[in-house]
Amino acid sequence: MPETERLSLDEATDLLTRVFAKCGAGDSAAASVARALVAAEAEGQSGHGFSRVSDYAAQAATGKVVADAVPELVVSEGTALEIDAGFGFAYPALDLAIDSVIAAAKAHGTASVAIRRSHHCGALSVQVEKIAQAGLVGLMVANAPAAIAPWGARMPVFGTNPIAFAAPRKGAAPLVIDLSLSKVARGKVMHAKKSGQPIPEGWAFDGQGNPTTDAEAALKGTMAPIGGAKGTALALMVEILAATLTGAHASREAGSFFTADGPRPGTGQFLLALRPGDADGFAARLESLLGTIAALEGARLPGTRRFAALARATEQGIDVPAQYLQAARDLAGES
């Protein structure tokens, strides 16, 4: 196991806020990026946490991500909203999107928001949970640089293209479901590469289409989709919603989230918020369904481990690998 150092969530957020301020982000944007990365780390999604800090900073330095971009709500009336992220970090655009879509859905019953010219958006669970905490049902999809080949092919066309869903619960934390359409998020493969570790069998293929446990070879190849051909069909659906509909770069056009050179990612996100027409009835029916599942021997509701990890992190802090923590302190000018 790599050496780690424990930080409270506040300590981690303050450190990363200083990092992204040094990278040129405004105070609000720097705090937004920091909160999102720490939240991902806290729920156990290390591939979307501290491991991303150096990559983000390097891209800010080259202009691949515009650190001081201010997202713009370009369509602000009605129920179909649009945001231009200005090739900046995704998280300030998502903050604007969620505030806007919640307000519109509460007023009209349903609303969507399309984000274009965006960037890596990390753990989608962090975002849809905010919608559910407002008493709404939330759905979010995002495209990413090409990493999955259409079924039967070798050339990557789709990103890992995650889907997330959240529903409010009465007297309990929201139900949150977050899944990548590759067997694992690509960030986990990058984390394995940076840590010098192999990846499990079945995660990815090399450039020749052969299964591999070598993280570097996997990053040059393609990711294995969930569910075979069904997974690639879902990836196509997400691609249409997150890129074709929003006007963002298609996955095959998007620059890498990991490197400082090359074209800007310019990816997209699409969020939908729904207000239950009968909130009390919805809550009762949802609890009946979830109770049925929870009562089955061996069954586990989605998100159980995530909430356990969040509870531990809130109480005890997070264990950050020393290499990532030192890199963050260097970037903050605090070595």
| pLDDT of 2 | 61
| pLDDT of 188 | 84
Say if residue 37's pLDDT is above 80: yes
| pLDDT of 42 | 97
Average of per-residue pLDDT values in the chain: 95
Average pLDDT over residues 14-26: 98
Say if residue 1's pLDDT is above 70: no
| Domains of the chain from N-terminus onward | 4-182+225-280+305-331 (3.30.1370.60)
pLDDT digits (tens, 9 = 90+) for 39-79: 999 999 988 999 999 999 999 999 999 999 999 999 999 99
pLDDT digits (tens, 9 = 90+) for 296-315: 999 999 999 999 999 999 99
262: region left, alpha or beta (phi > 0 left; psi from -120 to 50 alpha) = left
Average pLDDT over residues 119-147: 97
Range of weakest confidence among 33-37, 58-62, 200-204 = 200-204
| pLDDT of 187 | 77
Say if residue 245's pLDDT is above 60: yes
| pLDDT of 194 | 83
pLDDT digits (tens, 9 = 90+) for 220-237: 889 999 999 999 999 999
